[in-house]
Amino acid sequence: MSVHATNEDFSLAASLVRDAGALALRMRSEGLTATAKTTVSDVVTAADHAAEKLVVERIRELRPDDGIVGEEGASVTGTSGRSWVIDPVDGTYNFFAGSTYWCSAIALKADEPESLDGDPDVLLGAIFQPQEDRLWLGGEGHPATLNGDPVPPLEDASLDRLSAGTYLHPTWLLRPEVAGPWTAAASRAATIRMLGSGSCDLGGVASGRLGAWFQHSCPEWDWLPGKAIVRAAGGSTAVVEVNGFRWHIAGRASAVREIEGALIRA
């Protein structure tokens, strides 16, 4: 089944992330508590759940045939061959700590076929950073935009001339099968930025504030929204398995190739 994203889908995605982000920000201003999921830095709040509920209800109303996958547990099987992938608050630790570096993100993907590397085909992505008022949008047939304006085409450059966004939880530094490849790739960049929201990072890659990004073991909601936008900006993406871990890479074409090579050779 051939599926695609319509202009109305792009408009809907932009509206969904704006509304989800605004709801989360309002709830934070009224006071929130957080609950740890896996570690002290992996937390969830009532705002995460409320924002996801808002998005799910809107999609079920407006796109009843589409599937839904949400970070906080939403799961709907659709019949259209498309599914919405929801991250209601990406960077929840930052969000709860009062930082502005968090966002709401959504992607629309084709349920099948998958690409040769097993990564889903993504039709569109939308990322909204509420406190910075940054809305990235892009996908198939829709060049990447930031607040409605086209982002400049990404010019190729080698990794040693670029900043690289990444994330590695401190506990993984004790795991050589992960820390080794990560260090091999990170050491080749001009500088490293570890800011705590993959989707915000990927928006930064699309708009040129970061040159590249890489991270292991990304769930779909941390990867697909930004993947769609980076590709729509003329960037490159890759997924590679090293020591049993899948690494996700995005950025300027040469930098992506260098990161992939460094990970594999480590």
Mean pLDDT for the stretch of residues 124-144: 97
**Binding-site sequence positions for Mg(2+):** 71, 87, 90, 222
pLDDT confidence bin for 154, thresholds 50/70/90: very high
φ, ψ for residue 15 (rounded to 5)?
Answer: -65, -40
The CB density around residue 10, as the number of other CB atoms within 10 Å, is 22
Q: Please tell me the predicted confidence (pLDDT) of residue 40.
A: 47
Measured CA to CA, the distance from residue 152 to residue 173 in angstroms comes to 36
pLDDT digits over 12-37, tens only? 999 999 999 999 999 998 887 777 66
The CB density around residue 254, as the number of other CB atoms within 10 Å, is 17
Q: Please tell me the predicted confidence (pLDDT) of residue 192.
A: 98
Share of the chain above pLDDT 90, in %: 87
- Does residue 114 carry a pLDDT above 70? no
**Binding-site sequence positions:** 71, 87, 90, 222
Across 37-41, 47-51, 240-244, least confident range: 37-41
Q: Which residue has the tokens 């090579």?
A: 261
Across 90-94, 105-109, 158-162, 260-264, least confident range: 90-94
Measured CA to CA, the distance from residue 229 to residue 33 in angstroms comes to 32
Mean pLDDT for the stretch of residues 190-211: 98
Provide the b/e sequence for 74-98 (b: ≥16 CB within 10 Å). Answer: beeebeeebbbbbbbbbbbbbbbee
